[in-house]
Amino acid sequence: MAAVDMMNITIYGKGGHGAAPQRCIDPVLLAAQYITEIQTIISRNLPPIEPGVITVGAINGGTIGNVIPNQVVLKLTIRTFSKESRDIIMKRLKEIGDNLAKAAGLPETMLPKYDLLDMSIPSVYNNPELGKLLKDCFNKYIGSASVVKIKPMMIGEDFSVYGQQSDSIPSYILWMGTLSKERKEKSLQNNTEIPALHTSKFAPDYEQCIPMNVIMMSAAMLELFNKGNK
């Protein structure tokens, strides 16, 4: 899972009447240009095989259609898997924002403000040796058909902090099943969507998944303890 950064960017301008834009420096237009331009960071500044995401999830600015405001605030999330990609993205976010502002005629004192929020988490690293031990354990208890390898995803998870301590402890994040076979088959037959995690309709089949997951986590712990005692 990816490293996550959250950032607020304030884009300044010179407000005024919407009917006289020549007397203003429109921060809404600047924000629109900026949002479009920063998407080229992923496609043109990162290697094609290096994943990254920049999403502008919120735009706050202005009050009414005929008034150009003095500023616009953008709220971003940034997802990366390597420090090198993160450094490139952070550098380019500022370079693009500053130079668009200068091109619009804004002075150095009115360049965008970049606020990196105190919500950053590193990427998740699964220890391969621990992963093999867990996979062998689960295969033994429930069969290999029930153990699936998941591709890297751009969602974030603060579980990653466990593997980032000074005295590193091997860690491995697992996704445990929450959907019964019967419910999945019924959903496929009816062509209905299965509610995903973080949605308001997410409803695990707890009567089956909780006992099974307790058994599997217990088996994993016993396997680790037995390995340590050999």
Please write the tens of the pLDDT for every residue from 178-212: 888 888 888 889 998 888 888 898 888 999 889 98
Instruction: Tell me the pTM.
Output: 0.83
Write down the pLDDT at residue 230: 58
Q: What is the per-residue pLDDT for 55?
A: 97
Q: What CA–CA distance (Å, rounded) separates 40 from 35?
A: 10
pLDDT tens profile 29-83: 999 999 999 999 999 999 999 999 999 999 999 999 999 999 999 999 999 999 9
User: Is residue 99 within 8 Å of residue 86, measured between CB atoms?
Assistant: no
Helix, strand or coil for residue 75?
strand
Q: Which two tokens stand for residue 64?
A: 């009414």
CATH of 3-116, one of 3.30.70.360, 3.40.50.720, 3.40.50.1820, 3.40.309.10: 3.30.70.360
* Residue 119 φ then ψ, to 5°: -135, 15
Element at 4 (helix H, strand E): strand 3-12
Identity (one letter) of the amino acid at 25? I
The CA distance from 47 to 45, in Å, is 7
Q: How far is CA 87 from the centre of its chain?
A: 16
Distance separating alpha carbons of residues 132 and 129, to the nearest angstrom: 5
d(CA 178, CA 52): 29
